[in-house]
């Protein structure tokens, strides 16, 4: 059991940024991202003994992280809350590049959860095969969905 814990700890250390990347796909709130991260770690630990190395550890971690965040998003929608916000952001950048990135994030956040995950994985330079393995669709379907998502983003940016 001790060896299993050490192996798990090493895996998490190696792929911590992967887990955070997926968590950030689903939220901008630090506390919520940390909640998603912790929930993902729990799910990874639960499935670690059953992991058969049929895919790469990174693909498996992406898949577990993705499914954990999707489930959390669904739960969140069923329990409507009112977020507390400040009207001022002391850390806001005003240069053109930062504003373009912010607008892109806003447009991506208007997509559905599944489409948002696909485009963000694509922006992480993942291959269509890897994206398909993570979200559970065929490579061809990834290609078709990405085309449609890009078209949808173009329409959103023209509104």
Q: Let me know whether 100 and 116 are in one domain.
A: yes
Q: How far is CA 125 from the centre of its chain?
A: 14
Tens of pLDDT, residues 71-130: 888 887 766 555 555 555 545 556 667 777 778 888 888 888 889 889 888 988 889 999
Q: Could you say which of 70, 85, 100 is where a domain stops?
A: 85
Q: Let me know whether 38 and 51 are in one domain.
A: yes
Q: Let me know whether 79 and 104 are in one domain.
A: no
Q: Could you say which of 59, 85, 111 is where a domain stops?
A: 85
**Polymer length in residues for the chain:** 159
Domain that holds residue 136: 88-159
CATH of the domain at 67: 1.10.1740.10
Q: Let me know whether 13 and 59 are in one domain.
A: yes
Q: Let me know whether 62 and 106 are in one domain.
A: no
DSSP secondary structure, 58-79, as one string: HHHHHHHHHHHHHHHHHHHHHS
SS3 49: coil
Tens of pLDDT, residues 1-46: 788 889 999 999 999 988 988 888 888 788 999 999 999 999 999 9
pTM of the model: 0.64
- Cα angle 102-108-114, degrees, rounded to a multiple of 5: 150
Q: Could you say which of 85, 103, 123 is where a domain stops?
A: 85
Q: Are 66 and 117 in contact (CB under 8 A)?
A: yes
- Cα angle 148-67-75, degrees, rounded to a multiple of 5: 100
């Amino acid at each position: 059991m001790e060896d299993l814990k050490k192996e798990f700890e090493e895996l998490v250390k190696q792929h911590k940024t992967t887990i955070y990347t997926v968590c950030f796909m689903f939220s901008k709130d630090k506390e919520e991202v940390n909640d998603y991260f912790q929930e993902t770690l729990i799910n990874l630990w639960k499935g670690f003994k059953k992991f058969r190395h049929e895919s790469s550890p990174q693909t498996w971690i992406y898949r577990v992280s993705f499914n954990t965040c999707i489930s959390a998003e669904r739960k969140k929608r069923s329990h409507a809350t009112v977020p507390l916000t400040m009207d001022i952001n002391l850390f806001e950048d005003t240069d053109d590049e930062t504003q373009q990135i912010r607008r892109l994030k806003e447009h991506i956040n208007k997509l559905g959860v599944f489409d948002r995950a696909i485009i963000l994985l694509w922006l992480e330079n993942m291959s269509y095969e890897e994206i398909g393995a993570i979200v559970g669709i065929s490579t061809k379907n990834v290609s078709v969905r990405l085309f449609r998502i890009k078209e949808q983003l173009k329409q959103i940016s023209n509104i």
